[in-house]
Chains A and B, each alone.
Chain A
Amino acid sequence: MTRHSISPRKLLPLISFSVLLIATFALQERAMSYLGLNLLFNLTIPIALATIGQLLIIMVNDIDLSVGAFVSLVACVVSTLLVQHPWLGWLALAGLVLAYAALGALIHRFELPAIVVTLGMSFIWGGLALVIMPAPGGTSPEWLRALMTVKPPLAPMAVVAALLIAAAAHLLIMRSGIGTVLRGLGGNSRSVARAGWRLSGLYALTYGLAGVFGVLAGLTLVGLYTSSGASVASSYTLLSIAGVILGGGEFIGGRVSPIGAVLGALTLSLAGSLLAFMHISPDWQIGAQGAVLILVLAARLLFTRREALL
């Protein structure tokens, strides 16, 4: 393989996204417009952000089962506290990020299984959300609503936001020095430690960053839906994991792709819209999203095998 060739395996997220996008455009040409693209993708923005959060955790060989509950909690804080007492609201959000960072340090320090800790935390986040907001409701801060309904001149908000998220995550995780170290944590944490890094600090940083993306997901969610509830983002946990895997990430070894993950999140929601346009009952949609996931993974396996042979 030459230095310049791009392996088909890495192109897979882009290929699967393009195939679905072309199919959607073919079925529903109205989607192929400024307004259409926005309607198609705007609700995916919070999911894409949550997916990047999940990607950071998966990057260090952990998994986060509390993403959905955490984003819901953030949404509850945003739609109540941040509206009534902005300072207190920001403080609470900062506190949540710190809590996530502490969780990362804790998981590493005591060698706890992240899957169990985050599952437990999901109930704590959910409980806190219920305390803040026993019944769905709340409002979006004005500036946030304005931000999520902004109409940029060239491309719709959803597309611009997706590009921004992908670019920022790529720069942070794939290009920056610290991003490389964090990826090394998933690849071989011992050698990172030998290089003189304090592992607890790095895990805390990874989880803290995941918390930041969780907070961003909650913020954009409230801006889009204009209100929230204690279980508003409950589906995000599985969607974010699926997005990471669909985007070319692996559960172990620090092999992840932020751009792929954003594409993965977009692909999953696109699959839902496509099925709706095909007049397939929503009862089948969850199953169909699973089918897309299996198809892509099967294709990836094929490419990986061939790469191994070459």
Chain B
Amino acid sequence: MTPDNDNRRWRAGLLGLALSTAALAAHADTGGAAAATPPSPAQVAGQTQDQSQPRTNSTADKRIALSNNYAGNAWRQQMLAAWQTQTAPAVKTGVVAAADAFTIGENQPTDQAAQIQNLILQGYDAIVIDAASTTALNGAVQEACDAGVVVVSFDGIVTAPCAWKIVNDFHEWGREQVDYMAKRFPDGANLLEVRGLPGTFVDDDLHQGIVDELEHYPKLHIVSSVEGDWAQDVTQQAVAGVLPSLPHIDGVLNQGGEAYGVAQAFRASQREMPVIIFSNAQDELAWWAEQHRKNGYQSIAISNAPGIAVVAFWVAQRILAGEDVPKHLTVPLYHIRQDELSEVLAHTPKGSVADQIFTRADVERLIQQARATQASAPEPSPAKAQDPAKTPSAAEETQP
């Protein structure tokens, strides 16, 4: 390198420095000016104080964004559709000014953190998050909170203390399955348990619910347990593999998304069809309805409804309105009973999942319940919502 060349490079560098300094000077000028242009983050920051004031302010000028990490399965598609159909009327009637949904291209926490920071810059008053990571977004979430933006996480929650967390009760899901079996088989039964992705929070929690509830029913026995990974094909293979070595099976407990695979395995083995607990996948429900028509087959479906996104939306709206909302909310599980089956099925497109619609009133009731339980138990929140567990990946994979 000649000194001449070197010198020129150095000059280019100097110019770069000069420009950056100019940019800095510009920022120093606009730092004050920005505060005057509504609604700057600085101004939004003022609103955190509003929350301490008693009740509901108008949210007509508030903008809410959905930051979603993944859209590649039926559950997520239904979740986005629910957000769209349920928030559009709220925007139309002027409850909020905007409710825009953004999904990142790849399920990467780094991408989602950048997206959240861009949403802060765009001046959204609240950001609703289905997170790619429970912990890796905490930096960006903290930036949002510091800028006065309300952050509500659901399904895939974040652990940042300033964010609201909305989850399903997977432990209850396990308990309800056992309760149903106890009702169907008061004289005792052999049960087969199909488990989800090993090592995930959802699998552990749901299994623990089953184990805990089984203690109340000594006549129910789990004779075998297989790993189905929340996928039909994996489940069918696993169940077909163990069936020859098993005694008569009366019922099958599972975690959602496996029921159709279980049914296929039993049909192939020529065994009597057990009572299978279903979830909200359309193919399972269709099979259930067909069996019911043919031979009066009876069961129940339990699942986590994608409509939880709408709960998160209304929670964000209530917080923006100044309401004091508990940081942890548990959304009830979605049940489809035998008598509702045909109606639910009629509304569920092929290849999709059935969904539960949460209205604003439902969400207000949820908030009140959470407040009541919070008041009765001063120690905050169910432990599972705080658990830095693998909820996001797990919850998203729960769905086939």
Instruction: Report which A residues bind B (CB closer than 8 A).
Output: 3-7, 10-11, 14, 18, 21, 28-37, 39-40, 42-43, 135-139, 148-149, 154-156, 159, 162-163, 166-167, 170, 174-175, 180, 183-184, 187, 224-229, 232-235, 257, 259-260, 263, 269, 272-273, 276-277, 282-283, 285-286
Contact = CB atoms under 8 A, between A and B. Distances in A.
Contacts of A14: 12, 15-16, 19
Interface residues of A, dominant DSSP: helix
B332 interface: no
Contact of A226 (B8, B27, B30, B135): B135
Contact of B117 (A29, A39, A232): A39
Interface string B130-157: 0001111111101100010000000000
A30 B41 contact: yes
A248 B390 CA distance: 42
Contact of B136 (A42, A156, A227): A227
A285 B388 CA distance: 31
A37 B135 contact: no
Given A137-B388, A263-B16, A282 B139 contact: no
Interface residues of B, dominant DSSP: helix
Contacts of A40: 117, 121
Interface string B1-34: 1001011111111011101100110111011001
A5 B30 CA distance: 33
A18 B30 contact: no
B159 to A, nearest CB: 9
B118 A285 contact: no
Given A163-B17, A226-B138, A32 B26 contact: yes
A233 B110 contact: yes
B212 interface: no
A27 to B, nearest CB: 10
B111 A282 contact: yes
Contact of B11 (A6, A167, A183, A285): A6
A14 B110 CA distance: 26
A174 B120 CA distance: 38
Interface residues of B, number: 58
Given A30-B123, A43-B114, A43-B117, 20 more contacts: A6-B12, A11-B15, A30-B41, A30-B121, A39-B117, A39-B120, A39-B121, A39-B143, A42-B117, A137-B134, A154-B24, A159-B24, A170-B10, A226-B136, A232-B109, A269-B114, A272-B118, A273-B118, A273-B121, A282-B111
Interface of B: 1, 4, 6-13, 15-17, 19-20, 23-24, 26-28, 30-31, 34, 37, 40-42, 102-105, 108-111, 113-115, 117-118, 120-123, 133-140, 142-143, 147, 199, 388, 390
Contact of A33 (B11, B15, B34): B34
B34 A29 contact: yes
A163 B20 contact: yes
A174 B23 contact: no
Most buried by B among A30, A31, A40, A187: A30
Contacts of A286: 105
7 contacts: A3-B4, A5-B8, A28-B122, A30-B41, A225-B140, A260-B12, A277-B122
Nearest to B199: A135
Contacts of B34: 29-30, 32-33, 36
B200 to A, nearest CB: 9
